[in-house]
Amino acid sequence: MSPTVLVGLIVAAIVIVVIIVIVMRRRKDEQGEPLPESDIDRELPPSQEEPAQEPDEDVESEAAPEEKVPEAAEEQEVKAAEPIEKRVTAPGVRLDESEEAVAAQKLLDAKRERKLKKLRKGLAPTRGGFIAKIGAIFKEKKIIDPALLDELEEALITADVGAKTTEWFITLLKEALEKDELADPDAVWSLLRSEVERVLAIEAEPWDFSKSKPFTIMVVGVNGVGKTTTIGKLASQYSGQGHKVVLAAADTFRAAAVNQLEIWGRRTKCEVIKSKEGADPSSVVFDAIKHAKENDADVVIADTAGRLHTKAPLMEEIKKVSRVMEKALDGAPYQILLVLDATTGQNALQQVKEFGDAIDLTGIALTKLDGTAKGGVIIGICHEYKIPVRFIGIGEAKDDLREFDVKDFVDALFYKEKEAEEE
Ligand SMILES: Nc1nc2c(ncn2[C@@H]2O[C@H](COP(=O)(O)OP(=O)(O)OP(=O)(O)O)[C@@H](O)[C@H]2O)c(=O)[nH]1
Ligand SMILES: [Mg+2]
């Protein structure tokens, strides 16, 4: 064979191989390769679809320092994660149906785990304060004796669980002991946990906006407990779910209070109905409900003043606001949410009593659980007053208001410190 023929053959062979490779690649492309997981992960940060900063930053800067409407890094983190879900389910991504479902589920699980982690972090001070104390008692004691019960009683009292609730629990333990139902400290521990869960699980219908149009929520509570912030967080959630929300600035006592609600209104794209400083709060809620009815809004949330609740005229004012809401719409206010600041401990219990004597409370929002070891007060509130906890606040950002889930809460509260340290 001549060298020319040989070279010709080699060139022809190379061309054939190249053609085969190209054809195979095309086919593979057409069939669609599943996106490797590592690729999905890489889509996570940085989020190009979401701006790193909320556009209404300039709005925030308008607020007086104490009226700041804060955002947390965690919220940015959650936002950054959102595009992956969109991406996994986006039409252009070549995942077959089952892979897509698995990937989407993984992302949902990861999101839930992030939320639980945040809850555990928020409850860390309370867990460290009283659950850890109780845990330490049980660690040291291998047998149940009167000294253990005394130590337990002290731990419960100092955690602001409340004297009545503590007494009830200690009696329960003694009875179980007499019946020989508690073999060891572990049994006491699990009895405590299951009883806490039972006490917190107050039956309450979920908020169903179809039950009343507009669904009216009156928010009450003493100064600085977090009413306006809670309203802002609720507005953010509901408007994010596509509901049309109207906010009533019925705290007409201070101009700054109206201003603070307006900032939340702008941020959450909700209308705010207001009046001038010193105006009658009842007229503001009346106008807000009227406006909501005329504009087909789904939810009205009324912010009220939080001045000293111990003065009768102030309670009278809240009663009047509630009556006027009823005049504007049958059945209103559909919910009366009492906001309590967990850091105030036993005072919170007193506030439930004062407000509960004046109006029919339908739920509680317990805020600032992230900054206190006194979170045990939630057990006392539920045990003594049987009013369901609807929301808990574990930070200042929009996403830091959680619908109260007994199981998640108890899991986070009794989370083992050893594991928590590893996080
Ligand atoms: N750490 C933390 N801070 C919170 C939480 N909820 C509210 N706050 C903060 O508590 C402070 C008071 O909140 P506001 O919403 O103004 O309280 P308010 O009840 O409307 O107060 P008044 O209008 O004065 O009666 C603000 O600095 C909030 O950011 C929470 O869950 N955790
Ligand atoms: Mg306020």
Indicate the top mutation candidate among 67, 71, 229, 390 to test ligand 1's pocket, ranked by most ligand atoms within 8 A of CB. Answer: 229
User: Which pLDDT band, with edges at 50, 70 and 90, does 129 fall under?
Assistant: confident
Ligand 2 centroid to Cα of residue 264, in Å, is 11
Higher pLDDT pick, 28 / 59: 28
Neighbours of 203 (CB within 10 A): 6
Contacts of 415 (CB under 8 A, 6+ apart): 120, 123, 127
Ligand 1 centroid to Cα of residue 364, in Å, is 15
User: Which pLDDT band, with edges at 50, 70 and 90, does 12 fall under?
Assistant: confident
Q: Is the pLDDT of residue 36 over 50?
A: no
Q: Tell me the one-letter amino acid at 253.
A: F
Q: What percent of the chain has pLDDT over 70?
A: 79
Q: What is the largest CA-CA distance in the chain?
A: 115
Ligand 1 centroid to Cα of residue 90, in Å, is 39
Ligand 2 centroid to Cα of residue 191, in Å, is 40
Question: What pLDDT score does 214 carry?
Answer: 97
User: Which pLDDT band, with edges at 50, 70 and 90, does 69 fall under?
Assistant: low
Contacts of 117 (CB under 8 A, 6+ apart): 423
pLDDT in tens, 307-366: 754 555 878 999 999 999 999 999 999 999 999 999 998 899 999 999 999 999 999 999
Question: What pLDDT score does 1 carry?
Answer: 63
Token pair in block for residue 98: 């089952």
Looking at 75-84, 127-136, 180-189, which range is the least confident one? Answer: 75-84
Question: Which atom belonging to ligand 1 lies closest to the Cα atom of 306?
Answer: 25
Ligand 1 centroid to Cα of residue 365, in Å, is 12
Q: Is the pLDDT of residue 381 over 50?
A: yes
Indicate the top mutation candidate among 396, 399, 400, 402 to test ligand 1's pocket, ranked by most ligand atoms within 8 A of CB. Answer: 396
Question: Span 212-217, mean pLDDT?
Answer: 96
pLDDT in tens, 245-297: 999 999 988 889 999 999 999 999 999 999 988 889 999 999 999 999 999 99
CB hemisphere CA count around 76 (13 angstroms): 13
- Helical segments of 201-330, H only: 227-240, 255-268, 281-294, 312-328
Q: Is the pLDDT of residue 56 over 90?
A: no
Q: Tell me the one-letter amino acid at 116.
A: L
Neighbours of ion ligand 2 (CB under 5 A): 227-228, 257
Global model pTM greater than 0.75:
yes
Question: What pLDDT score does 58 carry?
Answer: 35
Q: Is 181 helix (H, G, I), strand (E, B) or coil?
A: coil
The phi-psi region of residue 345 (left if phi > 0; otherwise alpha if psi is between -120 and 50; otherwise beta) is: left
Question: Which atom belonging to ligand 1 lies closest to the Cα atom of 257?
Answer: 23
Question: What pLDDT score does 25 carry?
Answer: 65
Return the residue matching tokens 């004597």: 357
Question: What pLDDT score does 98 carry?
Answer: 81
Supply the residue whose CA is at minimum distance from atom 6 of ligand 1: 226
Token pair in block for residue 224: 């600085």
Ligand 2 centroid to Cα of residue 77, in Å, is 28
pLDDT in tens, 400-419: 999 999 999 999 988 875 55
Give the integer Cα–Cα distance in Å for 112 and 71: 20
Q: Tell me the one-letter amino acid at 40.
A: I
pLDDT in tens, 15-35: 787 777 766 665 544 443 333
User: How many residues are present in the chain?
Assistant: 423
Q: Which residues contact ligand 1 via a Cβ below 6 A?
A: 70, 221, 223-229, 251, 257, 306, 367-368, 370-371, 393-396, 400
Output the average pLDDT for the chain.
81
User: Which pLDDT band, with edges at 50, 70 and 90, does 80 fall under?
Assistant: very low
- CB burial readout 135-151, b (16+ within 10 A) else e: bebbeebeebeeebbeb
Question: Which atom belonging to ligand 1 lies closest to the Cα atom of 394?
Answer: 31
Ligand 2 centroid to Cα of residue 251, in Å, is 7
